[in-house]
Amino acid sequence: MSSDVSVVILAAGLGTRMKSSLAKVLHRAAGAPLIEHVVRAARSLAPPDRIIVVTGHQAADVEAALARHGVRFQLQAEQKGTGHALAVCQGQPGLDSGLLLVLYGDCPLLEPSTLRRLADSHRASGAAATVLTARLSDPSGYGRILRDPQGRVAAIVEQKDAAPEQLRIEEINSGIYCFDAEPLWRCIARLQPSPVTGEIYLTDVIALLRQDGLTVRHCQRVSLFAIRQRHLVPALAEVAVYQAQAPLAHAIAHCGFLQTTAGGCDQEYPAGGAEDRPQARHDPALQFGIFGRAMTDHRPGLGRQNGRPHVNRSGNEYLDVGRV
């Protein structure tokens, strides 16, 4: 644990793609809210009083879920974008100097070792910012990393703002950063709303740092699990497998009873019989269905596609939960 590191965790959003009234970070994985997994990882790098969780939707519930961790909270009353979320933290004690890590509250697979590597890489490079990036064959849904002719990180463009040629870039922004605090706050003050969405993007800080003649580095030493699960529903099952929750993983893999938690209530979906091979249907209104608690159901047969266990969602789209 380092005395010069602070962490801001962005957790204000509702998570509209979840189709649930429960704030995204309050959905549970392996027995704990998503946000709690992130806080645990952050505590390996910074003491609780140097961890700030930015709240918004269901702020009181988020604070209650994290009460025993001793972290601090900052309310973002209006959600105007990730840059605005960080801006409302300015003035919090300890954030004006040293290193500042920015994380998302819905990344439960983020490991302490990843954060340590990111911070160590940042210190060694002497950069003003270090961005955790990855290369994905399907980068849909992520901001793209733009590089200058020398191959250096020059900017990040959000998908909604990207030109067609930029959408073909496979290197993506994870949304996880390590900044030197002083130049960061100078750039935060200069952020402007996107002309496309009206949001204030934290990603625009990267281009501003480069305009100021400062260096931005990237770090790619991270499991893709830690990044992909922010946007891909199959990764909700991967969380359970990755964290070695054997009963849950076994239940998911065998397409048994799936017990979901959404909107604050639990519902069970028993495996149904498609032909002679039962498959569990996932209500599209409960996007985190396979991420909840599960119970095995040892009825004959197994829902499979190409020899691998699957969960069948509405519309006959398959989520492969047997590859992990």
Q: Which residues contact 226 (CB under 8 A, 6 or more apart)?
A: 107, 109, 110, 111, 114, 174
Q: Contact 8/181 with Cβ under 8 angstroms? A: no
Please report, for the chain, the start and end positions of each structural domain, with discontinuous segments joined by +: 5-133+174-201+208-229
Which neighbouring-strand residues pair with 32?
A: 29
Indicate yes or no: pTM above 0.85: no
Higher pLDDT, 69 or 110: 69
At residue 107, the pLDDT reads 86
pLDDT score of 262 = 38
The single-letter code of the amino acid at 225 is F
Confidence of residue 141 (pLDDT cuts 50, 70, 90): confident
Fold entry, domain 5-133+174-201+208-229: Spore Coat Polysaccharide Biosynthesis Protein SpsA; Chain A (3.90.550)
Backbone phi, psi, residue 82, to 5°: -70, -35
What pLDDT was estimated at residue 318? 29
Contact by Cβ (8 Å): 102, 6: no
Report the mean per-residue pLDDT for the chain.
Answer: 76
User: Taking a C-beta distance cutoff of 8 angstroms, is the pair 310, 256 a contact?
Assistant: no
pLDDT more than 70, % of the chain: 65
Give the pLDDT score at 143.
Answer: 94
CB-based contacts of 69: which residues, under 8 Å, 6+ apart? 36, 39, 40, 43, 48, 51
Q: Among 37-51, 137-151, 209-223, 280-294, which stretch is predicted with the lowest mean pLDDT?
A: 280-294
C-alpha count within 13 angstroms, C-beta hemisphere, residue 53: 33
Q: Are 178 and 61 in contact (CB under 8 A)?
A: no
Q: Give the pLDDT of residue 224.
A: 65
Could you give the residue numbers annotated as active site? Answer: 17
Q: Is the pLDDT of residue 323 over 50?
A: no
* pLDDT tens, position by position, 206-231: 999 999 999 999 998 666 656 665 55
Do 258 and 249 touch, CB atoms closer than 8 A? no
Q: Where are the beta strands (DSSP E) in 148-221?
A: 153-157, 171-180, 216-219
Residue linked to tokens 């604070």: 63
Q: Mean per-residue pLDDT for 145-174?
A: 96
Question: Residue 2 — pLDDT band, cuts 50, 70, 90?
Answer: low
Query: What tokens does 57 get?
Result: 């939707």
Q: Band the pLDDT of 52: cuts 50, 70, 90.
A: very high
Contact 132, 219 (CB under 8 A): yes
Decide the pairing of beta strands 153-157 and 144-147.
antiparallel
Distance of CA 37 to the CA centre of its chain: 11
| Structure token pair of residue 35 | 């946000």
Please tell me the predicted confidence (pLDDT) of residue 22.
85
The pLDDT tens digits of the residues spanning 250-277 come to: 554 454 333 333 333 333 333 333 333 3
Residue-wise pLDDT tens digits, 76-133? 999 999 999 999 999 999 999 999 999 999 888 888 999 999 999 999 999 999 999 9
Please answer whether residues 26 and 62 qualify as being in contact, where contact means their C-beta atoms are separated by less than 8 angstroms.
yes
| pLDDT given at position 250 | 52
Is-contact 51 86, C-beta < 8 A? no
Which string of b and e fits 283-300 if b means at least 16 CB within 10 Å? eeebbbbbbbbbeeeeee
Average pLDDT for residues 193-214, to the nearest whole number?
96
294-312 pLDDT, tens digit per residue, is 333 333 333 334 444 443 3
Q: Of 107, 104, 170, which Cα lies nearest the Cα of 140?
A: 170
Distance CA 127, CA 150 (A): 16
Mean pLDDT value of segment 186-191: 98
pLDDT at 57 over 70: yes
